[in-house]
Amino acid sequence: QVQLVESGGGLVQAGGSLRLSCAASGGTFSNYVMGWFRRAPGKEREFVAAITWNGGYTYYADSVKGRFTISRENDKNTGYLEMNSLKPEDTGVYYCAADLKRQSPRGSWSYDYWGQGTQVTVSS
């Protein structure tokens, strides 16, 4: 089993920045596509960003493109999501996920392991 632990969430003002981290253990991190998803209150979980094993390809939801940057450091077994120019609509619980199937970076169904989530709240 792969364990994922998110950190770095918190309260930030609109226009501010936040960097989330995802620490992985129990597997070879570089074998997995890493993704970030979020769930706003009362809404379904939605795709945010994903990155391939070597960082060669990245994927972003239209709503965050140009503002968020996904990255990974395989030697540290850690992934990151840097969030800039945050908006109140970015508020939600953010989840890190690892995908060994490597079928659909944007699809939550494709991911095998999930972290517990970290709360991000953006005030106006």
pLDDT per residue as tens digits for the range 28-73: 777 889 999 999 989 999 999 999 987 789 999 999 999 999 999 9
Environment class of residue 47 by beta-carbon count within 10 Å: exposed (0-12), middle (13-18) or buried (19+)? buried
What tokens were used for 113? 């392991």
Pairing of strands 118-123, 10-13: parallel
Q: What is the DSSP letter of 107?
A: -
Residue with tokens 């994903």: 50
Band (pLDDT 50/70/90 cuts) for residue 81 is very high
Q: What is the DSSP letter of 75?
A: G
Name which residue leads in pLDDT, 63 or 27: 63
The helix (run of H) or strand (run of E) holding residue 10 is strand 10-13
